[in-house]
């Protein structure tokens, strides 16, 4: 009885560890991208706000 519980516990630990390693590995392979400044719709608003603050 005790050996069965120990074996099931070790199997669960191995499965959780394998899933964590697989998830971390996939996360490191993800390619992050950044939008170019030319296509940033917020840039014009920020520049406009800075321009208006400079005039005041």
Q: Using H for helix, E for strand and C for coil, what is the string for the chain?
A: CHHHHHHHHHHHHHHHHHHHHHHHHHHHHCCCCCCCHHHCHHHHHHHHHHHHHHHC
In a domain, 42, yes or no: no
Q: Tokens 């390619």, residue? A: 31
Q: Which domain holds residue 4?
A: 1-29
In a domain, 8, yes or no: yes
In a domain, 21, yes or no: yes
In a domain, 34, yes or no: no
Q: State the total domains in the chain.
A: 1
- Does the pTM surpass 0.85? The reply is no
In a domain, 49, yes or no: no
pLDDT in tens, 1-55: 999 999 999 999 999 999 999 999 998 888 877 766 676 667 767 777 777 776 6
In a domain, 46, yes or no: no
């Amino acid at each position: 009885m005790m050996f069965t519980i120990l074996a099931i516990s070790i199997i669960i630990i191995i499965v959780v560890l394998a899933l964590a390693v697989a998830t971390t590995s996939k996360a490191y392979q993800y390619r992050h991208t950044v939008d170019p400044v030319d296509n940033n719709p917020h840039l014009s608003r920020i520049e406009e706000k800075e321009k208006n603050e400079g005039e005041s």
